Amino acid sequence: MDGAREDSPGIRVLPPLIALGCFGLGGLADRLWPWPLAGSWVTLERLRWIGLAVLAAGVALDLWSLGLFARQRTSALPFRAASSIVAHGPYRFSRNPMYLGMVLQLAGAGLALGRAWLVLAAPLAALVLDLYAIPREERYLERRFGANYLDYKRRVRRWL
């Protein structure tokens, strides 16, 4: 194994696959027990536009975050070594804007499709990421960057 892989958070399941898996579970639940969101309180058309806006915000947040990693020449892949801490742009408000973007994309897709189970896939993905990926990444970054990361961690919330 090369040095870059040894010096990493040790995440073996890529976070986008976690989000996709949660979306798949939501789709399966919707197939078995259909649960539409639209009703007398909101139209499907209105939900669709709100969902597309939330989905677009999630995509934009992910692209912005990935762009910052690229400009700072550090890896966004959780199984590779990090060469620096990205602490500007959306990282001033959230230590995990890429994960937040994924969760927004899930919620937005569920709203756009008008399916409750798909919307509920978003908090499920957030929970799995919060329990599986984020603690591993935080332990790794504390080990790798010490006081610099601990200071950043004190200043910026995990999600928002």
Average pLDDT value for the chain? 93
What's the pLDDT tens digit per position in 99-108? Answer: 999 999 999 9
Count CB atoms within 10 A of the CB of residue 68: 19
pLDDT at site 127: 98
The mean per-residue pLDDT over the stretch 136-151 comes to 97
* Residue 5 contacts residue 80 (beta carbons within 8 Å): yes
Reported as a single tens digit per residue, the pLDDT across 14-43 is 999 999 999 999 999 999 999 998 766 678
Residue 115: the pLDDT is: 95
The domain ranges of the chain are 44-155
Contact 81, 8 (CB under 8 A): yes
* Phi, psi at 157, each rounded to 5°: -70, 160
pLDDT digits (tens, 9 = 90+) for 45-68: 889 999 999 999 999 999 999 999
